Every structure is written in C-alpha cells, then in structure tokens.
Amino acid sequence: MLKSVKVSDYMTRKLITFTEDMDLFEAIRIFSEQQVSGAPVIDKQDRLVGIMSEVDCLRGILDKTYHEEEVGGTVGEFMTREVDTVDTNTDIIAIAGQFIHRGRRRIPVVDNGTLVGQVSRKDILRAVNDFVCGT
C-alpha cells in the first residue's frame, strides 16, 4: 500500500543549497548552470531558514530596478521564509496532496529542523511507478 511508503525512501539527499548571505547573482548563476528552479536556504547548523526560487530572483531584480536602485542583493533579502516541510516518516500520499493543493514543486524534508533532503513531484511519481511496476 502506498501509504506505507515513506518520503525517506525516495527523497533526494544531495542538494544544492544556499545561505542567506549568498549574493543574488551567485544564486542566479547556480540556477542557470545546474538547471534547477529552486533550492533550500540553510544556516550554519544546516537548519532550514527558507527557500530561494527563480521567481524570488526575478522579484529581487525587478524590485531594485523599479526603485531605481543598483541591481543585486542577497538571497536572504528575497527568499521565501515561510516554507512547507515534511519529516522523513511522512507517507508519499500525504505529500502528493500537498503538491496538488499547495502548488509546490518540491518540499524540504527536515529532521528536528535540520535539512536532510528534499522531495519533488518526480520523486513521488518514481515511488508510484516502483510500487505499480514492482521495480
């Protein structure tokens, strides 16, 4: 049964992460080179403090341009601070519901506030495929 499949079995553990003090243009470069559209933002203890997305980068560029300021800034200035998370024991059906109802592409996985991975819509589809096809 799919409810017994836990996120820890399918989450991505090796993540691209940002820090709040990272330059906005460095985040844009990483997004361009790594072909990812978002990444968790962590502090020095690997605790999740936010998410930085391509949209957040665009918001940063447009905000400064609109106010006729020099373009730039840091990830911490423009990241999304309110982040939906799940823990390693969450079942994939519950996560699929979050993807549908909250419109998320990825959800960070935390253990006592520490980032341990991330689950994406593709990870959920992979779990369903493995369950249905028995691979």
Residue 91 sits in a domain whose CATH number is 3.10.580.10
- Per the structure, the count of domains in the chain is 1
pLDDT tens digits for range 23-45: 999 999 999 999 888 999 999 99
pLDDT tens digits for range 103-133: 888 999 999 889 999 999 999 999 888 888 7
Those residues whose C-beta lies under 8 Å from the C-beta of residue 52, and which sit 6 or more positions away, are: 18, 27, 38, 39, 40, 41, 75, 78, 79, 80
Domain range for 74 is: 2-133
pLDDT tens digits for range 69-108: 677 789 999 999 999 999 999 998 889 889 999 888 899 9
The answer to whether 64 and 16 are in contact (CB under 8 A) is no
